[in-house]
Amino acid sequence: MADYLDSSAVGYQKSARRLMLIAALAFSVLLLRLAHLQFIEGRQLKGVSVHNFARRVDLPANRGSIYDRKGRLLAVSRPSFDLYITPAQVKDIDVLLEGLGQVIELDALDILKLKEKVLQRQGNWRYKGLLVARDIGRKHVALAEDLRSRVAGISIQVRYQREYPMGEIGAHLLGYLGRPRPDELGEGSPYRNDSMLGRFGLEKKLEETLRGEDGFERYVVNARGARKRGGWAERALEGLDNYRPPQRGHDVVLTIDADLQRILANALEGFESGAAVVLEPDTGAVLGIISKPSFDPNEWSGRLSFASKQAIDDNPYNPMLDKSVHSYFPGSIYKPMTALAALEEGVLDPELPIESPGSYEFGNRIFHCHKRSGHGAVDLNAAMAASADVYFYKLGEQLGIDTLARYARRFGFGQRTALGINGESAGIVPTKAHHDKNTRGGFQYGLALSTAIGQGDVRTTPLQMAMAYAALANGGVLYSPRVIDHIRTEDQREISRTQPIQIGTLEARPDHLAAIKRALERAVNDPKRATGHHAAIPYGVIAGKTGTAQVRKIVRGMMRQSVNRFQDRDHAWFAAFAPYDNPKLVVIIFLEHGGSGGKDAAPIARRVFEAYHQQIEPIFQTEARLGR
Amino acid sequence: MSKLLAILARAPWVLLIALLGLCALSVYNLHSTSMAAGNTIYLRHLYWMLIGGGVMIVVALIDYRSLQRFVPLFYLGVLTLLLLVLLVGKEVNGSKRWIDLGFVGFQPSELAKLAIILSLASWFQRVPRPGGYALKDLLPVAALIGLPMLLILLEPDLGHTLMLLFISGSMLVFERFERRAMVTLLIFGLASAPFVWEFVLRDYQKSRILTLVDSKADTHGAGWHARQARVAVGSGGFFGKGHGHGTQVAGGFLPENHTDFVFANLAEEQGFLGGFFVLALYLALIISALRSASMARDRFGRHVAVGVGALIFWHVLMNMGMVLNILPVTGVTLPLLSYGGTSVVTVMSAMGLLLNIHLRRTVF
């Protein structure tokens, strides 16, 4: 084969160089692209690669506990152990299920269903745990752990379950937990899908104190979702933020007494709807506060069944309304405020008898007394004892509505207290301006008369009333009601302690205050007239005032007991403090549409004082010593 | 003896060093994917390299001019194999590309590239046109290229079909044509594109091309592969994650990491530095081939050398273009680095041809 001698070798050399140039240019494009991906998109793509292999498990923080004043648990997060099967790890489903049958109760049908569920899982879903049993209890955990060490595919996951040992008692104060709403999740949110956060009561108000901070742990998975350790997996996590321990929330110790809560709940037995508040008059500390009807916060914190929810929704007495901080007509328990205003304004001589008939004509209206026959000429003590309406109409007429309002505000009415839970109401202190704005026809002078006996537009909450009576009892100092005694860490280190918060005084002369206190003592202990005589006890002196607040003007003068519609019945109040000479407790009983202050609410207050004295702390010491 | 020394003195050292570098790198790189998958593919790759090396030496030693006689026979043999694969081939993912020989799979389309290179070069040798080729001269060439291309397109294997087209195109570009022939070819090529799109390409092939334009078009099929390759490459950075520490490979997120997407593994673990090095080695190989072409003793040798250079060039371009997400996903391997016996032996024999031509070049 003869060599073909090329006539244009130089031409081929040119061609070759051209192709070399093209190849070099094409490879430069590849190199630039490589540089672009690795340098410009590098950071972002590195993030994607981390996203591929890194999985984050959240380590939920244990929520702080809530204790009563004596260190008894009111709310606690208990670890709950849930049992899972991971289908991908199961080697022999029958052996596993047989072993499982010895740990938890499973009947033949359960086993069949479980087996089907495990075998049905496909693809990556097989790596996702299948919940078998919730909250299996400590004894079963030990058995499950034992099974786990022998059979592959079982895992136990810990979750915190909020528990309220007192159940329904005091549920409104403590509140409950719920899952976060979509708008509470997302970037920067401390919550995850399965977080539980305070939704009501103190759980909500103290959310940040109790919550703590969730931690996390990062681990490595392969493309099939199986967890990997060591080697590349260990290297992959280098330089990443891989672990943060969960921070337990703080514990909160309340001023509340668990025993007293129980006493209050028992005392209100038989009444459908109402509230009770017990306060320490010298400090403003709330010792007991309940609202009726109540709900079970254990259920509401993530275990609410449809039936229970339905029952609460259908309950006509509105269980989810915290009546201790909702405002109502106070009725006659408002009369001491009117009396103090009159004394301070110099329009009342407490000793001077004032004619108090069964009705009082003012302008073109007749104002009735609850007692149609009237009370005759009565002084302050007798008027308070008998709750003589006309006596107070006359005081209201002389003072005018704005003067009454000025004094009412000194008692803290018309503004929210510092407790600030459950949509606390501010109540209403009516003034001329208020009526001009809200009443058809504007302010009329007669409204001052209604206001003087706690009707008209006056609205107060049971808690406000407790605060106001505490001021009367302690010599004129207005304390903000407080429920938190102190906040501490898990290891008992105190973070903050709440001191009594004085928010004002009644600015009243001591003898005027003494006169009011005396009149309130008469209202319980006057042998002839006392409307609150059902609250009297033989071994101590209780002072207090009944209130039977009319809800509907139409029913006035009719036989009130014949009013069948619950919503039309009167509110029954009793506001009291004791012992009379050195008050230790203020007790407010409120029965929504509950009937009569004297007959229904006063005996409840007495039972509370008695039970407190007998079961918690003897408060009637002086009298007891005298009795010996 | 002195003749052997003379031959060694004329040996293409750049080519040999680049080749050795790529072989060593490929085994090292596959060692990482083997660790991840828990197999010994890197060892099998090494064996194939040794076999390929033997084939290369044999091919290099026999004077290529005496090989020219067997070219038509080789061409016909490859055509037969291509027909055979369509009849008895093993079907994988809807296409028949492999003939199962029991102990090993065999891919005739790899050999088709060699067949085309050799037969085209042989034709150029036999039909010289010092004044440039006219259009009518190219009709037999079209048949020569078209037949194996059609058979491979039927498998279907778009990657290798294009490969044959590009390699033959490169070899043609090396020759001189009449102006009229060039213009006609260009117009014909452009005009046929819509017909190819409409009647030749299958839906999944179209979707791979579309994925390039819009990466969200297909995030689970070919788009998923490309996406994971991009993540692997990009997360490598300048120095890479280190041997055996590429999370995309070790975690199994990067599919086909020992074959088509092997470069993604290298770029992830060895970074820009490694990628740059590999590209440089390939470029050295191609330049070396083109140098051999310009120095070859005859037209046959010239065109074989260009063809081999084009084979490497287009494989690297299409494979890396795919891994780097600038070209569609086609099953084109990265020469030597991708695991695969047929591919390794084919490339090594091509290298043998290159050596052969270089050793017997004209000395000016």
Q: What is the pLDDT of residues B217-245, one digit of tens each?
A: 555 556 778 889 999 999 999 999 989 88
Q: What is the average pLDDT across A318-340?
A: 94
The residue among A546, A545, A536, A547 whose CA lies nearest residue A579 is A536
Q: What is the average pLDDT across B338-358?
A: 92
Assign A625 a pLDDT band (cuts: 50, 70, 90).
very low
Per the model's pLDDT, the better-predicted residue between B179 and A275 turns out to be A275
Q: What is the average pLDDT across A267-278?
A: 94
Distance CA A98, CA A24 (A): 68
Please name the member of A1, A16, A31 whose beta carbon is closest to the beta carbon of B293.
Answer: A16
Of the CA atoms within 13 Å of residue B210, those in its CB half-sphere come to 13
Q: Facing residues of A253 across strands?
A: A67, A486
What per-residue confidence (pLDDT) applies to A3?
Answer: 41
Of the CA atoms within 13 Å of residue A529, those in its CB half-sphere come to 21
Q: Judge: B250–A7 Cβ closer than 8 Å, yes or no.
A: no
Which amino acid would we find at residue B190? L
What per-residue confidence (pLDDT) applies to B103?
Answer: 67
Give the B window 296-355 contacts with A, CB below 8 Å. 297-299, 302, 306, 309, 313, 316-317, 320-321, 324-326
pLDDT(A557) > 70: no
In CATH, A323-481+493-562+591-627 is 3.40.710.10: yes
pLDDT(B32) > 50: yes
Which amino acid would we find at residue A341? A
pLDDT(A77) > 60: yes
Range of the domain at B315: 2-359
Question: How far, in Å, are A118, A251, A310, A571 from residue A174 at the CA level?
Answer: 41, 13, 22, 26
What per-residue confidence (pLDDT) applies to A554?
Answer: 44
Please name the member of A7, A11, A27 whose beta carbon is closest to the beta carbon of B283.
Answer: A27
Assign B139 a pLDDT band (cuts: 50, 70, 90).
confident
pLDDT(A626) > 50: no
Q: What is the pLDDT of residues B275-292, one digit of tens each?
A: 999 999 999 999 999 999
Distance CA A458, CA A414 (A): 9
Assign B257 a pLDDT band (cuts: 50, 70, 90).
confident
Say if CB A214 and CB A192 are below 8 A apart. Answer: yes
Q: Judge: A30–B317 Cβ closer than 8 Å, yes or no.
A: yes
Provide the CA A58 distance to its chain's centre, in angstroms: 27
Asked, for residue B364, whether it belongs to a domain, the answer is: no
Tell me which of A29, A49, A51 to substitute to probe the interface with B (most B C-beta atoms closer than 10 Å).
A49
Measured from the Cβ of residue B30, the count of other Cβ atoms closer than 10 Å reads: 27
Assign B211 a pLDDT band (cuts: 50, 70, 90).
low
Distance CA A250, CA A213 (A): 10
Q: Read off the DSSP letter of residue A213.
A: B
Assign A99 a pLDDT band (cuts: 50, 70, 90).
confident
Of the CA atoms within 13 Å of residue B124, those in its CB half-sphere come to 27
Distance CA A167, CA A246 (A): 28
Give the A window 205-244 contacts with B, CB below 8 Å. 220-224, 228, 231-233, 235-236
What per-residue confidence (pLDDT) applies to B315?
Answer: 96
| Chain B CB contacts of A3 below 8 Å | 297-298
pLDDT(B274) > 90: yes
Please identify, in words, the CATH class of the domain defined by A79-164: alpha beta
DSSP per-residue string spanning A404-463: HHHHHHHTTTTS--TT--TT----B---HHHHHHHSTT---TTHHHHHHTT-TT-BB-HH
Asked, for residue B206, whether it belongs to a domain, the answer is: yes
Number of domain units in chain B: 1
Q: What is the pLDDT of residues A445-461, one digit of tens each?
A: 989 999 999 998 999 99
Asked if the C-beta of A352 comes within 8 angstroms of chain B's C-beta atoms, the answer is no
Tell me which of B294, B316, B322 to substitute to probe the interface with A (most A C-beta atoms closer than 10 Å).
B294
Say if CB B19 and CB B285 are below 8 A apart. Answer: yes
Ramachandran area for residue A292 (φ above 0: left; ψ -120 to 50: alpha; else beta) = beta
Distance CA A62, CA A83 (A): 20
What per-residue confidence (pLDDT) applies to B187?
Answer: 86
Burial class (CB in 10 A: 0-12, 13-18, 19+), B149: buried
| Chain B CB contacts of A1 below 8 Å | 65, 68
The residue among A521, A44, A19 whose CA lies nearest residue B286 is A19
Ramachandran area for residue A422 (φ above 0: left; ψ -120 to 50: alpha; else beta) = left
pLDDT(A627) > 50: no
In Å, how far is B127's CA from the nearest CA of chain A?
11
Tell me which of A20, A34, A36, A127 to substitute to probe the interface with B (most B C-beta atoms closer than 10 Å).
A34
The domain limits of chain A are: 79-164, 323-481+493-562+591-627
Assign A508 a pLDDT band (cuts: 50, 70, 90).
very high
What per-residue confidence (pLDDT) applies to B218?
Answer: 52
Measured from the Cβ of residue A146, the count of other Cβ atoms closer than 10 Å reads: 13
Q: What is the average pLDDT across B166-174?
A: 89
Q: What is the pLDDT of residues A602-611, one digit of tens each?
A: 999 999 999 9
| Chain A CB contacts of B132 below 8 Å | none
Measured from the Cβ of residue B55, the count of other Cβ atoms closer than 10 Å reads: 17
Q: Is the dihedral of CA A122, A124, A127, A129 positive or negative?
A: negative
- Identify which of A122-136, A467-481, A544-558 has the greatest average pLDDT: A467-481
Asked if the C-beta of A496 comes within 8 angstroms of chain B's C-beta atoms, the answer is no
Encoding tokens for residue A337?
């405020």
Assign B172 a pLDDT band (cuts: 50, 70, 90).
confident
Pick from A304-318, B12-26, B38-52: least confident: A304-318
Q: Judge: A17–B294 Cβ closer than 8 Å, yes or no.
A: yes
pLDDT(A5) > 50: no
What per-residue confidence (pLDDT) applies to A51?
Answer: 86
Please name the member of B283, B299, B326 whose beta carbon is closest to the beta carbon of A23.
Answer: B283
Q: Judge: B293–A12 Cβ closer than 8 Å, yes or no.
A: yes
Asked if the C-beta of A433 comes within 8 angstroms of chain B's C-beta atoms, the answer is no
| Backbone angles phi and psi of A190, in degrees to 5 | -75, -5
| Chain B CB contacts of A42 below 8 Å | 234-237
Per the model's pLDDT, the better-predicted residue between A628 and B235 turns out to be B235
Q: What does pLDDT average to over chain A? A: 88
| Chain A CB contacts of B128 below 8 Å | 4
Per the model's pLDDT, the better-predicted residue between A369 and B106 turns out to be A369
Encoding tokens for residue A444?
């009329």
Per the model's pLDDT, the better-predicted residue between A221 and A556 turns out to be A221
* Helices B13-37 + B262-295 axis angle, to 10: 160
Asked, for residue B229, whether it belongs to a domain, the answer is: yes
Distance CA B18, CA A28 (A): 18
What per-residue confidence (pLDDT) applies to A628?
Answer: 36
Please name the member of A1, A30, A37 whose beta carbon is closest to the beta carbon of B279.
Answer: A30
Pick from A108-117, B263-272, B288-297, B343-352: least confident: A108-117
Encoding tokens for residue B213?
């334009």
What per-residue confidence (pLDDT) applies to A623?
Answer: 47
Assign A564 a pLDDT band (cuts: 50, 70, 90).
low
Q: What is the pLDDT of residues B325-346, one digit of tens each?
A: 888 888 889 999 999 888 899 9
Please name the member of B232, B246, B302 whose beta carbon is closest to the beta carbon of A12.
Answer: B302
The residue among B159, B150, B148 whose CA lies nearest residue B331 is B159
Asked, for residue B331, whether it belongs to a domain, the answer is: yes
Q: Judge: B279–A8 Cβ closer than 8 Å, yes or no.
A: no
Does residue A579 have a cis peptide bond before it, meaning omega lies within 30 degrees of 0?
yes
pLDDT(A356) > 80: yes
In Å, how far is B173's CA from the nearest CA of chain A?
8
Please name the member of A6, A12, A53 whose beta carbon is closest to the beta carbon of B251.
Answer: A53
Q: Judge: A49–B250 Cβ closer than 8 Å, yes or no.
A: no
Pairing type for strands A251-254 and A66-67 reads parallel
pLDDT(A624) > 60: no
What per-residue confidence (pLDDT) applies to B159?
Answer: 85
pLDDT(A87) > 60: yes
Provide the CA A625 distance to its chain's centre, in angstroms: 41
Burial class (CB in 10 A: 0-12, 13-18, 19+), B126: exposed
Distance CA A255, CA A267 (A): 20
Q: What is the average pLDDT across A217-238?
A: 81
| Backbone angles phi and psi of A593, in degrees to 5 | 45, 40
- Give the number of beta-carbon pairs within 8 Å between A and B: 160
Asked if the C-beta of A11 comes within 8 angstroms of chain B's C-beta atoms, the answer is yes
Q: Judge: B234–A13 Cβ closer than 8 Å, yes or no.
A: no
Percentages (nearest 5) of helix, strand, coil residues in chain B: 75, 5, 25
The residue among B62, B8, B55 whose CA lies nearest residue B350 is B55
Give the B window 88-147 contacts with A, CB below 8 Å. 125, 128, 130
Which amino acid would we find at residue A448? A
